[in-house]
Structures are given as C-alpha cells and as structure tokens.
Structure 1
C-alpha cells in the first residue's frame, strides 16, 4: 500500500458519530470512501496504547489495510491564532512584571536585534512543533514593527514568507501582519500595502491599544477592502471594561459588507463590564457576522495583574458567546515568549485549560471544545475541503483515544499526523506506520517524511 493509497477499518470519527465505526479509503491524497461499518468493535473497549497494536497493524498493513481497533481519527487541528515569530524568544526577552504592556515594550526594544534567520528559525520550529501535536493549519499574527524601521519590520515578513513556502504541503500557514497604530505616516501606510502585495493573507492589529482606535479601525477596513483581504484583530485585550472597540469593529463590518470576513480575538473586557452591556455587545457580534477566538491560557497569565484578593482571570465570556452561536475557536496564542512563558502548540492542552476556565466538563461541552479546534476555526479561516469527507484532502491525525472525552481527561501522547494522505509524523513508539519520529530538539526542529 503506497503512502498515497490508504485503507482504514474500525475507525472512530467523533465529529460524525462516536457510537459507530467506519471504513475509510483515500487515493492521491483525497478521501474516496467513508462508509459506516455494520459490525461493531469486539472486546471490552478498554484503553490500550496504540503502540501495543503495532504487530497486528503491521500484519494488516501488509494485507492492504490498517485496523485502528476503534481508535480515533480527527481532521487536522486548526490553530486560528498564534505568534510564531515571537515563539521561543523568552531567553532573549524577559518580562519581570508579567503584564501585557511590559511584554509589548520589551519585545519592541529587542526586535531590532533579531536577524531574519533568528525569526525564521522560531517560526519554523513552532510550526513543526504544532504539527507534532496534530495541527495542520495555522493562522499566525506577525510583528510588524514599522516604528523600529522599515527594514526591521520586513525581516519578519520575509522570514514568514520563506517558511510558509518551505512548509507548503506540511503545515498550511496564513500570515496576518500586526498593523501599527496611532497616526500612521504615509511611508508606514505604503509599507502595509507592500506587505499585502508580497503575499500577506489578511490584516491584523490591536486598535484597543491606540490613542486613536476608531481612525485606526477605519484605515484597516479601508485598506483590507481595497485589497480584498479578511481582517483579524486583537480586540479589547484588557480588564478595563471601558475598552469596547469591538462595538466599532462590528459597525465597520456592516458598513463594508464584511460580515464573515472579520475575526475578533481575546475580548477580555467583556468579562470585566456589566452583564447587560456585555450581552448587548455579544448580540452585536452575532448580528454582524463576526467570528471570535478565545485564548484562555495567555489571558489568564497576563490579565488581572493589578487585582488583589479575588483576581479576575481575563478570559472572555466563553459560554455566553457559545450560547449566542457566535463562531468561537480556541487557539494557542504565544509560546514561551515574554507574553507567555509556557505552551507547546498543543491544542488539546489549550482545550483543557479552556474547560477549566469556562466550567466546561460535560460530554457535550467537551465535544464543543473539540469543534472549537477543528470545524469552527476551519470555518473562520475559510478553509475549503476541510474535514473527513469524500473528496476532501486527507489531512488528519490518529490519536490514542477511544472517545472524545478521553482527549481531555487523558491528553493522549500517541498521535500520528497525515497531510494530503502522506504520513508526516508519529509519536507512537514501534510505529506500525513505518515513520521516523520528528526531531523535536530545541536546536533542530527538523521534519522527515516516510
């Protein structure tokens, strides 16, 4: 059986039907057949490490099929909000206070010292580390520090473009530069346009930090519309309830007919303001077709630093957004940098922290979390042909889990990742797939294909 021809039996597809088993076939990197099986998995259904099945799977592989014995297949995870260029910079950029403002200031001061090779290496390492945990598509926000000079700003742009090209067909990447704010010069606006011309996928920014947020939002929408690009903004990442730029963003989305093309991230201040006003804003987010991304680990780390006693944890109103049927994804955000000293790019761990933060523990809640790292962000990123369905690309991850609940209760280590029908990575020892393990050392984040 070639790497481009796949045949699986006894597969659990938790996003389709966790109670049944499926037989799947793929040819040329695309699913050709997904059929419910009439037979059921025998045995007591107890949890067994996938590595223990290696001998049996090897025998079946030689016969042209792989028996997953009820283990789980998911479409590749989609991380809708990362900062790949900043990842693993903590050793070079500290943050004594642990606040967002110090992180911004310290990284800004250090940015001119980073070479393009430094930035390129961090982007590549973080993207491949995320791949090892099952993520096959990433939207990354890029530092675009024009106030440090045009050449400094474009180091990050060129580094990201190079890594995106190198990892094509391995990890798909969408690039969104963080547009500067506060009274842009003509040269700075020209630089934004040049970045879009070079191949940026959309426009980002953090207008809630600006002294002139509305004029900055006006400019972002005008530029994005001129280039036909989507918008993804850090919005109200603050525990100050007066920060309500999302309301103006929603207003501009209506004006430009941009419903479905605007994403707002963080939305921390929703939890700080009174419930009535928060409900009004959430209603406006829903009515205007905005999508949202929540980032609990980083927000819990950064926010509430000025509180004592009962400390606010900074997460947005996750349940209220879900109840309002706002498309809401979870994502990694920052990884081992001055904004967040932890993280690995593992969306299952992000989902677990989200479950704690939002009191999501029922089976229905955990299934919702699973959709928040797969189907929902795929929709936000506008992915076509996503998911395990006939005709779609065979991008998927096999996981040592029998039920969706196991994903968050066990955080299974065993994962094997395929892209377009090609096996890219496995963490399973004595792998039945015949793969070499990704080199995950900090010095070399290499990938090797089977």
Structure 2
C-alpha cells in the first residue's frame, strides 16, 4: 500500500536477467514487488543486515537486507520432472542404462509402492527443489492402468495430497502419462477424465512408445480440449531418426488451436536426423507454436546406449530450436531413479549441463541459459506476472555469486529463497578457517 512500510527492502542486488553488472534496490510490499530501482553504485547499509550473516529466523525478522552484490533471480521453474519416481533407485536399478530397462524395471515394481511411499518421495523431491530455488514444478506422473485402477489411482491421490502438504512453499502442476490403448478406450478415458475432475492439471503421455502414436495424440487432444487443459507430451525420446512423432503433434496443435498451450519434451531423435529434415521439423514447430523442454542430464545418461565410438548423446538441437523462435526450457526430469541415478532438483546444475551439451559458453550465452531456467519455462507452464517486476508476486532466489556467469562457474551452494510473502529457505555462509598451527 502506498506510504506503508515495506515488508522487505533489499539493496546491492544484481539482476543478471535484467542488467548483469548493475546493482539494484528492490522493495516488497504485501508479497508484491513494489519497486525495482537501479542504484548508482554500491549503497551504504543503513540498518540493512548482510544476508550472508542471517539464518532463516533472522531473515524472518529483518525488513532490510544488504545482498552485498549477490545475484537474485525469479524462482526457477522446473517444467519437466517425475516427482513420483524420485529416489526409487535403491529399489529399481538399471544395469543396461537404457530407457527400455528403466521403464520395464519401474513398472515391474510399481504395484509394490504404497501411496504413502509415493507421497513421501514427491514431498522430499519437491522440498529439495525448493531449497535450490525452484518455486514452480511440473511433474509427469506414472499411471499404469494396465496394473489395475487402484495401482494407477494411488499415484494420483499421493500427488494431490503431497501438493497440499507443500503448497505453502511451492506450486506443482501434474500431467499424468496416459497410455492410450484402443482396446481399452472406455476404461482409460473414464480414468483420465476422473483425474482431471480431481484436480490434475493437464494431459501427458509418450505417444512414440504406443502402438499407434497418431491415435494416441488425437485422443490426448480430445481429452485436453474437452476439459480446457494444457497438453504436455514426451516426444521422440529415441535415437532413431525415423521417429518423428513431432510432425503429427504439430499438425494436431494447429488443428485444435493449441498454439502456446502444448509442450514437447525430449525431442532426442531430432538430433539424430539429417540437417534438412531437422530444419523442416524445427520450422514446423515454430509455426505451430509448440513449447519445447530439453532434459540434458537424463538424455546424456540414457541415449546412445547401442552406439560405440561416436556415441549419440540424445540432447535435442538446442541452439537451432532457440534460433528458430521455439520457446525452449531446460529441466531436471528424473532424480535418483532408474531413468537417472543422479540429480538433486537443482536447476542451476541443469543449466550448467545444458551449457556444456549445447556449447553455450560465450558471455552472451549466459542470459540465454538462465532464461531457459526461468522466463521461458514460466511462459511454457502458463505463469503470468512472473519475474522481478513492480506489481508481480515476489518469489525469488538469492545466490552467492556476483554475476550470471559466476553462477555457472561456481554453482554456489548458498541459496536464500523467498516465496508467498516469507523466507522459506536460508543458507548461512559465515566463513571460518582453521588457524595455521
């Protein structure tokens, strides 16, 4: 409210998405950014507590903070995760490292995972992501209806209960991976419609893994359009250049008026195609208005397992998609499960892997990489009023780095996270060194 005391005032802030190198003063009132002002050089602290000296309790009581030149970014948006599978690696290993074994291995044990187990994994992974600065997550869910309705539904119920539990920290969207089988049309359609009425956010799937991708995609669009929901499909997670489900997907996006409302994840086979065909499909994607998400960590792990010598790594054509105007985000995908034994939900780590995989290492590339973790996925998942702008909700992460480039150079461990009108995570970095004996 005009004239009232701010909830929070931050000085000496660096905003690499706005003007890397400059310092800013930021003000929050009522959980909303009320001012974002460029400083003329460093500001002297006037009762402002150095953020590095403050833990969560001190931050909660401090209306004025000195960021001492540290970077602030709007909360990361992790637009493609599998929270329900997270931390299942101790139960399901993947000896071949292939996508096929990961799928079959997890499905072989899916019925043994209780709702409480699945819920606990989602909560743990979501809160870990928050601690690294992610404030919006989109998770695909495994719903193996072929194992019975109860097995499929327990994941949906666990996910909705977990979202309620962590809702004061992070926002989560859910997109079940519906596997359409024409022989069980009625059963799958009834199940999918029930989940959407329960609060599931959109329609997911992996049509390239189904017997009839065209039919699967058509069914998915009919379902999504009928409920007015977004659609987000795993597309062409394959080394085979002949796998071109994206071609059909784009046709359906145009036919159903879903430009800006449909997302394609992975797009691995695009990287294996000859240049002219890849160019054609990328241009078609740009014209159709599909959003894309690259999952570099997981695709580097899973793809090319049948190759020797010059091993295909599966990461999609990141530079070419971006240059063609296709909105392209990077995301975590899997965390410590048979699809990816590593990972921790740290989007900055994903940004570094993206930079390596796509040769995005020039100084002018850094804002592009950071945008793939923030602004672009925010648009893809449908966020409005996102960013550090007056009038927008204040959800942000402070990182112990002095520039956008140093974020990827240092991968700073220290993070301070603010969301929903309060500090929700804090690191303390009082550095102490042992005395030399």
How would you bin the TM-score normalised by the shorter chain? over 0.9
- 2:143 aligns with 144
Q: What are the within-5 Å matches in structure 2 for residues 119-158 of structure 1? A: 119-158=118-157
The C-alpha deviation readout for 1:238-274, integer Å capped at 9, x for no partner, is 0001110011000001110000000000000001111
TM normalised by structure 1 equals 0.90
1:13 aligns with 2:54: no
| Contact in 1 for aligned 2:7/2:63 (Cα 8 Å) | no
* Contact map agreement 2:22 2:38 (CA 8 A) in 1: yes
Rounded Cα–Cα distance in structure 1 between residues aligned with 2:232 and 2:221: 11
What is the SS of the residue equivalent to 2:22? strand
Q: CA deviation at 1:429?
A: 4.0
Q: Could you tell me how far apart the structure 1 residues matched to 2:311 and 2:6 are?
A: 53
Answer yes or no: is the 8 Å Cα contact 2:208–2:245 preserved in 1: yes
Q: What residue in structure 2 maps to residue 102 of structure 1?
A: 101
Q: Distance in 2 between matches of 1:95 and 1:276?
A: 35
Instruction: Give the alignment's TM-score, normalised by structure 2.
Output: 0.93
Change (3 A) 1:152 1:31: same
Alignment of 1:290-305 (within 5 A): 290-305=290-305
Measured in 1, the distance between the counterparts of 2:62 and 2:235 equals 54
Q: Deviations over 1:65-91 (max 9, x none)?
A: 211121111100000000000000001
Contact 1:202 1:224 (8 Å CA) reproduced? yes
Determine helix, strand or coil for the equivalent of 1:418: strand
Change (3 A) 1:411 1:51: farther
The answer to whether structure 1 residue 332 and structure 2 residue 332 are counterparts is yes
Structure 1 consecutive aligned stretches of length 4 or more whose deviation exceeds 4 Å = 50-53, 58-64
Alpha carbons 2:179, 2:210 under 8 Å: kept: no
Tell me: CA distance 1:167–1:60, structure 2 relative to 1, closer, same or farther (3 Å).
closer
Q: Contact 2:180–2:188 (CA<8 Å) still a contact in 1?
A: no
Answer yes or no: is the 8 Å Cα contact 1:51–1:428 preserved in 2.
Answer: no
Q: Which residue does 2:266 correspond to in 1?
A: 266
Which position in structure 2 is the counterpart of 1:193?
193
Q: Secondary structure at the match of 1:15?
A: helix
Q: After TM superposition, give the deviation of residue 234 of structure 1 in Å.
A: 0.2
Gap change, CA 1:297 and 1:61, over 3 Å in 2: closer
CA distances 1:22-48 after superposition (whole Å, capped 9, x unpaired): 111111211111111223469xxxxxx
Partner residue, 2:341: 341
Structure 2 matches for 1:57-72, cutoff 5 A? 64-72=63-71
| Deviation for aligned residue 1:182 | 3.2
**Corresponding residue for residue 366 of structure 1:** 366
- Alignment check: 8 A CA contact 2:51 2:65 kept: no
- Structure 1 position 118 matched with structure 2 position 117: yes
Q: Secondary structure at the match of 2:240?
A: coil
Counterpart-to-counterpart distance in 1, 2:21 and 2:122: 39
**Given that residues 296 and 315 in structure 1 are in contact (C-alpha distance below 8 angstroms), is that contact kept between their aligned partners in structure 2?**
yes
Give SS of 2:79's match.
strand
Distance 1:88 1:176 in 2: 19
Q: Distance in 2 between matches of 1:105 and 1:425?
A: 37
Q: In the superposition, relative to structure 1, how do residues 193 and 53 fare at CA in structure 2: closer, same or farther (>3 Å)?
A: closer
Which runs of structure 2 are paired with 1:225-264 in the superposition (5 Å)? 225-264=225-264
SS at the partner of 1:264? strand
- Which ranges in structure 2 are unaligned for 5 or more consecutive residues? 432-437
Cα distance change of structure 1 residues 304 and 3 upon mapping to structure 2, 3 Å threshold: farther
Distance 2:318 2:148 in 1: 38
Aligned to 1:29: 31
Alignment check: 8 A CA contact 2:395 2:420 kept: yes
Aligned to 2:407: 407
| Residue matched to 1:435 | none
Q: Which residue of the partner structure matches residue 434 of structure 2? A: none
Q: Distance in 2 between the 1:330 and 1:144 partners? A: 24
Specify the SS of the correspondent of 1:218: helix
How many residues are paired up? 422
Distance 1:233 1:77 in 2: 21
* Residue 211 (structure 2) pairs with residue 218 (structure 1): no
* Contact 2:135–2:395 (Cα < 8 Å) also in 1: yes
SS at match of 1:85: helix
Residue aligning to 1:448? none
> Unpaired runs of 5+ in structure 1?
43-49, 432-450
Give 1:160-171 correspondences, 5 Å limit.
160-171=159-170
Distance in 1, Cα, partners of 2:305 & 2:417? 39
* 1:62/1:138 CA distance change after superposition, 3 Å: closer
Instruction: Work out the CA distance in 2 between the residues paired with 1:128 and 1:382.
Output: 22
State whether residues 85 and 156 of structure 1, in contact with CA within 8 Å, keep that contact through their aligned partners in structure 2. yes
